[in-house]
Amino acid sequence: MGKEITELMIKTSYDLAKKVYFEEIELSNALSKITEKSGMHRGFALAYVSAFRCLMSGSVYSRMMKATATRYYLYKIYEDFGLEFLKDALKAVNLHIEHYRKIYNKDLRSIIKVVDEIKLKHS
């Protein structure tokens, strides 16, 4: 199996996903930097950068993110952009949960726990 997703990978991918979102860096350069700085596989880096864009717009993302990464991204979105963007991000995560349930017939319990935890804190 591949490398474990580390805290460094999560933080690095978030920081560079934000720069891609605001067009401060091109996607290919961001992916290279994520890989160089954190050791994250380029394919995972792309999935996380793409998920960030979906979180910001409240749209469904299909690639899986670890619960720890989902928690970090949601807290950082709240910290960096405020409650309205957090609401969009939570909507995106819920759409992801539904998508995953429909396609794979599995509940993402750890992700659901993260959503419940954050809703409780920010409701």
In this prediction the pTM is 0.94
Q: Which two tokens stand for residue 64?
A: 């899986």
- State the pLDDT at residue 122: 86
pLDDT 10s digit of each residue in the chain, 123 long?
Answer: 346 999 999 999 999 999 999 999 999 999 999 999 999 999 999 999 999 999 999 999 999 899 999 999 999 999 999 999 999 999 999 999 999 999 998 889 999 999 999 999 987
- State the pLDDT at residue 38: 98
- State the pLDDT at residue 1: 33
